[in-house]
Structure 1
């Protein structure tokens, strides 16, 4: 199993109540129901208000490296990530167990 973690930081001057941010959030939330490779899917806004905290997180599980690659290249994932590129930066980690 591979756990795929992504932490998003909104760009300076971007607020989560902007329509484009709400569209990005909705696009990610829909992925859990549309991409068959995902065996676990969670995404949401961070509830921690600290200077070092990121704003939004995704936690997902896939079976193996091939499933991760299919998820990453899935058109719905690509479309959702493209929305976030307009207003955020992110870091990832993939953990194998």
Structure 2
């Protein structure tokens, strides 16, 4: 299995409803992108977040599925939406589980 972790920090202009819409759209990826085993996303509640408000984890059945995820048109639509609402910074980590 392969894990994809994303942390998102937003600009002041991004509204709460836009962030909630992002989560709604992201959950839909599980039904349209092949190879996704699990997808979880939500709002941070910790005070240790360094300004990162939303976390995402996606589990893939194999590395090819992870590699196909990024360029998939549905994922690209999410990336465009992030730019539209004002993502300020992100941290992305991919790793193979044991």
- TM above 0.5, yes or no, is yes
Structure 1-normalised TM-score? 0.82
Unaligned residue ranges in structure 1 (runs of 5+): none
| Structure 1 equivalent of residue 38 of structure 2 | 40
Deviation track 1:13-69 (CA, whole Å, cap 9, x = no partner) reads 43323xx43432221121122222101110111122456141001101112221111
Cα root mean square deviation, aligned: 1.8
What residue number does 1:25 align with? 23
Distance 1:21 1:51 in 2: 16
**What secondary structure sits across from 2:36 in the alignment?**
coil
What TM-score, normalized by structure 2, do the two folds share? 0.82
Distance in 2 (alpha carbons) for counterparts of 1:23 and 1:52: 23
Q: Which runs of 5+ in 2 are unaligned?
A: none
Question: Number of residue pairs matched?
Answer: 95
Q: Equivalent residue of 1:14, what SS?
A: coil
Runs of 4+ in 1 over 4 A off after TM superposition: none
